Structure 1
Amino acid sequence: MSDSVATPPAPPAKVTLWTPFMYALFRAIWIAGLVSNVGTWMQNVAGVWLVTTLTTSALLVALMQTATSLPAFLLSMPAGVMADLVDRRRLLLLTQGFMAAVATGLGVLTLNNGISAYGVLGFTFLLGMGAALNAPIWQAIATELVPRPALGSAITLNGVSNNIARAIGPAIGGAIIAYYSSGWVFLLNGVSFLGTWAVVYFWKRQPTVTSGPAENFIGALRAGMRYVQYSPAIYGVLARTFAFSFGAAAMWGLVSVVVARRLHLSSGHYGVMLSWLGAGAVTGALLMGRAGSRLNFNQRVLLGVLAFVGTNVALALVNQIFILYAVMFVSGIAWLLVMTSFSTTVQLSVPRWVQARVISVYMLVFQAGLSVGSLVWGELADHLSLRTSLLAAAGWMLASTLLAVPFPMRSAEGLNLDPADDRPHTVGEDAIDPDSGPVMVTIEYHVEPANWGAFHAAAAQLKRLRLRDGALRAGVFADVAHPTRISEFFYVATWGEHQRQYHRFTREDQVVEAAVRRLHSGPDAPRVTHLLAFPTTSNVEVATPIATLESQR
């Protein structure tokens, strides 16, 4: 199934960081998102600091990060499926309203002294649920707001929004905590969601046009997982994302403990620490133009990981708060370099029909790293020492740089992922019940022996695409009597799934298919045959072992 929506006008010949602001809807959603992000970072500071004052356990403090991240681990995939199947505007209205209600409830309870450390964790978990359902939709709509050449800039600007909020939100939140109460911060966060809700409410989103039979929830979930499984570029990014977020979780989960317990400073200093981190990230975005022309994704990620090695070492050993401010500033630059590299690679590497699902898998892996990392580093801090935990995290991140060898990151900006719907259709396919099946498709080639090696390599790439887009089995066989006659086959569960598989094929995939067909040497084009299971017999019969038959007599 391929999806299409109205696309924005083409960008100017030269795309810059600011190009997405040419589009009014992107501007409006970006500004509303910035306000909401400020409220979220105020909430994060208030929540962590409130738990820090309500308990003496470093583990409970670190679990605030887990409470934020774990819902993404549980809900990212269902959220991605819904974002690909259901109207995204309605889902955004639902998630923004839910988070506004939860934040307001937490604020009311806190102002009335009716909250405990475990209660804060519970409300944080609920907010994490709303964020988990919201995040894949929020990232996926970027493709509807700006054209593909400007998508990388849009992703960077969304990162800038979050990091501007990180720069000012903690400072505002820390000041309100110091002079008033965490409860007021929670109430303001509830209000911040209303601006986003209003912008989305007035968004006149064009209806999605789909090709092929509609997917059900379970089928769409399987399709998303299968796409990731057979996309080396995607699972390479996922491996490196988990390694990075697992190590970076030490900073996010323990920086408040460093400020409060090791340096014996106030919530204001904690807020300023996070503000320096956010300021560094905004600066990193402004430097992205130079970095984009001089550094590839591999180099950006490696630099960012090495910077975080230094961050964890500094948090463990440095006692001067002003030096730590500078460290956090550099860490913010590194964070933006790494996260935009991951996110841009993922979004540019997948077609629109599966985009939200793949984004949700990426976010699931990222949040899983943060959740598990927060738990591991918090436990180490409680049972050994804070310094040991941070140094161990630094060692992990240093070792993770080796992942660049098996999982190199490549630019995806030049990929053409438009649907290749101009291929010939099967005669009489409209009369076939979409639930009929299974279906086996065979393509017969004539390949000279001198080309067998090249054909085998090209066919292996095509086989991966067949499996990625819906085939249950795929392979290549040679005719024993006529070795130059080689048949490719793939096996699909139903005719409807085969139709979806047809519409998922992209222009980029056609390049792989063309490489296979160029090795065909017959006078006619390769012969394609569609075989549908005979309706009055079982589809596939599995032979019963002889020993079993003897025992039944």
Structure 2
Amino acid sequence: MTASTETSTWAPLRRGAFRALWIASFVSNIGSWMQTVGAQWLLVDEHGSPLVISLVQSASSLPVLLLTLPAGVVAEFADRRRLLIGTQAFQVATGAALAVLTVTGTTTPVLLLVFTFLLGCGSAAQLPAYQAFVPDLVPRGELAQAAALSSVGVNLARAAGPAIAGLLVTRLGVGGLFALNAVTFVVFALVLLRSPSPARAPAARQAFLAGIEAGGRYVRHAPVVRRILLRLVVFAVPANVLWALLAPLAHDRLGLGATGYGLLLGAAGIGSVGGALVLPRLRRRLSASWLVAGAGLVFGVAMVVVGTVRSPALVLAVLVPTGAAWIAVIAGMNAATQAFLPGWVRARALSIYQLVLFTSFAGSAALWGVVSSALGLATTFVVAGVLLLAGAATVPRWPLLDVATTGRETVSYWPDPGVTPAPDVETAPVLVSLRYRVRPEERAGFVTAMADLRNTRLRTGGTGWALYRDARDEAVHVEQYTVASWDEHRRQHEQRLTGLDQRVQERVEQHTDGAAEVAHLFRLHPVKKAEEPT
């Protein structure tokens, strides 16, 4: 192994634009963790139940369910830098208002959850833009490293933010922590203001709902992404018990104050940072599936231990490998998703990824709060640990698929159709028909290859697909797929096909005699002519 390979984790930080964004995000994340600690501990001090305390995370995650899909469409076509600046301004105003209310003693649990929800709205609106902004700043070959460094920043903040909050809360009060969080948004906005907008090829605009539909269609017909999302949910739902209920566990079972709670979060954050640093080496030795299985095993055992002991020192020690297991899954899934997605749909598909992730967070936080109220904290952590172990056992049955990071650049290999639609059909749905001749001995291989081609057609714009064989000449096979409009089909030709799609089509052509005969047909809507009176 060469030295350059060993130090490649840090390569994106050599790029000034990414480095500045990384530092600004790190500062903002410290503020967000201080906000979280302050909010949860404010409820602990007011003797809030575990269910109410867990709702802090639900309130911050719920906005993703509402906003991330439309935010993904906006981020695909808008200036992402300006969009990020706008969301920072909103969060500055919201954070400052919450700080004033808290300092003046007028914040109630309900009001706290409302402002947590509003801050979550700002985060949800910026998530797709931020994640799609990063690949604009680094080459595709450094995307995995950039994703890992982003996770390092998040988890360094997780290590530092709660510890800083624990030390400052006795001096500044919870209101002071909220004010510092608002200041971190100002820092992020100032960095963005000084950053130039990355040069991007202009994206053809789509209708808003059509843009959301295109992103959903891509994910639905991308088996690689679907499997990533499955493994993400199987891990995140039980693992989230830690972040939802660590505050009441620290107070009620371990007898710790705000500083002790901050140190517990800091231990998990330190483990996450260490995990992110060794993750590149682990990826070279283990498959992604075995990494996920190992992380689930470590996290599951740790939750059982956390739920059955009362020693703060032991819990502190256990949380270090727990943080490493967390980052192995969260950073690994995010990097795999970003590496697989082509540029034309990246922001929308990442918004779906975030939707799934934060739905898991919001739903499971409330779920674990309910379970804890019914069964107690100790039993809840043990149940979550058992579910994590069961999830790890399912990896051999449902492993991660090959992310096929090569061939993800957009290519144009379809011939120009040479069609100019008449005005009466230019917005009509299009039926694309391809006629193949297939030798009998190639028929089975052809049909198998067409299953992959079906996914290619549908994820790049097709709304329906079918394959037929001629009744009289069994060598003739006809593929037909529909596209919403000629403009949508033109996007397929010019913007949406990748090297991976090209290889799929070449595998199909290996089983055919010559090139397919292609026809484009526009849907008509016949209207019966009114009968003339006799």
Output the TM-score relative to the length of structure 1.
Answer: 0.91
Contact kept in structure 2, 1:434 and 1:497, CA below 8 Å? no
Distance in 2, Cα, partners of 1:399 & 1:466: 36
- Counterpart amino acid of residue 261 in structure 1: D
Which position in structure 2 is the counterpart of 1:407? Answer: 398
Distance in 2, Cα, partners of 1:455 & 1:309: 44
- Counterpart amino acid of residue 49 in structure 2: S
2:38 pairs with 1:36: no
2:63 pairs with 1:74: no
* Cα offset, 1:448, TM superposition: 0.8
Which position in structure 1 is the counterpart of 2:206? Answer: 215
- Counterpart amino acid of residue 68 in structure 1: S
**Closer, same or farther: CA 434–177 of 1 in aligned 2, 3 Å:** farther
* Cα offset, 1:77, TM superposition: 1.2
Contact kept in structure 1, 2:463 and 2:481, CA below 8 Å? yes
* Cα offset, 1:167, TM superposition: 0.8
Distance in 1, Cα, partners of 2:436 & 2:89: 57
Contact kept in structure 2, 1:253 and 1:374, CA below 8 Å? yes
Distance in 2, Cα, partners of 1:369 & 1:263: 27
Distance in 2, Cα, partners of 1:166 & 1:433: 58
- Counterpart amino acid of residue 174 in structure 2: S
Which position in structure 2 is the counterpart of 1:362? Answer: 353
* Cα offset, 1:435, TM superposition: 4.2
Residue by residue, what CA displacement relative to the aligned partner does 1:178-206 show, whole Å, maximum 9, x if unpaired?
22301001001100111111111122214
* Cα offset, 1:411, TM superposition: 4.5
Give RMSD over aligned pairs: 1.8
* Cα offset, 1:160, TM superposition: 0.6
Q: 1:242 aligns with which of 217, 233, 238?
A: 233
Q: 1:438 aligns with which of 429, 453, 471?
A: 429
Which position in structure 2 is the counterpart of 1:527? Answer: 517
Contact kept in structure 2, 1:15 and 1:149, CA below 8 Å? no
Secondary structure of the structure 1 residue equivalent to 2:316: helix
* Cα offset, 1:415, TM superposition: 2.2
The 5 A counterparts of 1:16-415 are: 16-210=8-202, 213-412=204-403, 414-415=405-406
Distance in 2, Cα, partners of 1:15 & 1:468: 36
**Stretch deviating more after TM superposition (410-419 or 388-397):** 410-419
Contact kept in structure 2, 1:51 and 1:120, CA below 8 Å? no
Distance in 2, Cα, partners of 1:496 & 1:279: 50
* Cα offset, 1:214, TM superposition: 2.3
Distance in 1, Cα, partners of 2:31 & 2:402: 34
Contact kept in structure 2, 1:228 and 1:358, CA below 8 Å? yes
Distance in 2, Cα, partners of 1:110 & 1:273: 25
- Counterpart amino acid of residue 274 in structure 1: L
Which position in structure 2 is the counterpart of 1:493? Answer: 484
Contact kept in structure 1, 2:301 and 2:389, CA below 8 Å? no
Distance in 2, Cα, partners of 1:182 & 1:318: 30
Structure 1 runs of 4+ off > 4 angstroms? 12-15, 430-435
The 5 A counterparts of 1:451-466 are: 451-466=442-457
- Counterpart amino acid of residue 529 in structure 1: A
Distance in 1, Cα, partners of 2:426 & 2:314: 65
Secondary structure of the structure 2 residue equivalent to 1:326: helix
Distance in 1, Cα, partners of 2:308 & 2:443: 60
Contact kept in structure 1, 2:159 and 2:265, CA below 8 Å? yes
Secondary structure of the structure 1 residue equivalent to 2:462: coil
Secondary structure of the structure 2 residue equivalent to 1:287: helix
Distance in 2, Cα, partners of 1:257 & 1:311: 17
Which position in structure 2 is the counterpart of 1:3? Answer: none
Distance in 2, Cα, partners of 1:187 & 1:314: 36
Residue by residue, what CA displacement relative to the aligned partner does 1:438-491 show, whole Å, maximum 9, x if unpaired?
211111111111111001001111112111122121111111121111111111
Residue by residue, what CA displacement relative to the aligned partner does 1:346-365 show, whole Å, maximum 9, x if unpaired?
11111011111111111111
**Stretch deviating more after TM superposition (49-58 or 128-137):** 49-58
Contact kept in structure 1, 2:437 and 2:512, CA below 8 Å? yes
2:526 pairs with 1:537: yes
Which position in structure 1 is the counterpart of 2:532? Answer: none
Secondary structure of the structure 2 residue equivalent to 1:445: strand
**Closer, same or farther: CA 210–482 of 1 in aligned 2, 3 Å:** farther
**Closer, same or farther: CA 433–312 of 1 in aligned 2, 3 Å:** farther
Output the TM-score relative to the length of structure 2.
Answer: 0.95
Contact kept in structure 2, 1:311 and 1:327, CA below 8 Å? yes
Contact kept in structure 1, 2:89 and 2:189, CA below 8 Å? yes
Which position in structure 2 is the counterpart of 1:6? Answer: none
* Cα offset, 1:15, TM superposition: 6.7
Residue by residue, what CA displacement relative to the aligned partner does 1:367-425 show, whole Å, maximum 9, x if unpaired?
11111111111111112211121111112111212442343114536321122224311
5+ residue gaps in structure 2?
A: 529-534
Residue by residue, what CA displacement relative to the aligned partner does 1:161-182 show, whole Å, maximum 9, x if unpaired?
1111111111111111122301
**Stretch deviating more after TM superposition (38-47 or 290-299):** 290-299
**Stretch deviating more after TM superposition (143-152 or 403-412):** 403-412
Q: Number of matched residues?
A: 524
Secondary structure of the structure 2 residue equivalent to 1:528: strand
**Closer, same or farther: CA 151–432 of 1 in aligned 2, 3 Å:** farther
5+ residue gaps in structure 1?
A: 1-11, 542-553
Residue by residue, what CA displacement relative to the aligned partner does 1:62-117 show, whole Å, maximum 9, x if unpaired?
11111111111221211111111211111101111111111111111111101011
Contact kept in structure 2, 1:237 and 1:407, CA below 8 Å? no
**Closer, same or farther: CA 149–207 of 1 in aligned 2, 3 Å:** closer
* Cα offset, 1:255, TM superposition: 0.7
Distance in 2, Cα, partners of 1:512 & 1:354: 19
Which position in structure 2 is the counterpart of 1:482? Answer: 473
Contact kept in structure 2, 1:107 and 1:183, CA below 8 Å? yes
- Counterpart amino acid of residue 16 in structure 2: A
Contact kept in structure 1, 2:218 and 2:460, CA below 8 Å? yes
Q: 1:506 aligns with which of 490, 498, 509?
A: 498
* Cα offset, 1:61, TM superposition: 0.5
* Cα offset, 1:140, TM superposition: 1.3
- Counterpart amino acid of residue 145 in structure 1: L
- Counterpart amino acid of residue 389 in structure 1: T
**Closer, same or farther: CA 501–15 of 1 in aligned 2, 3 Å:** farther
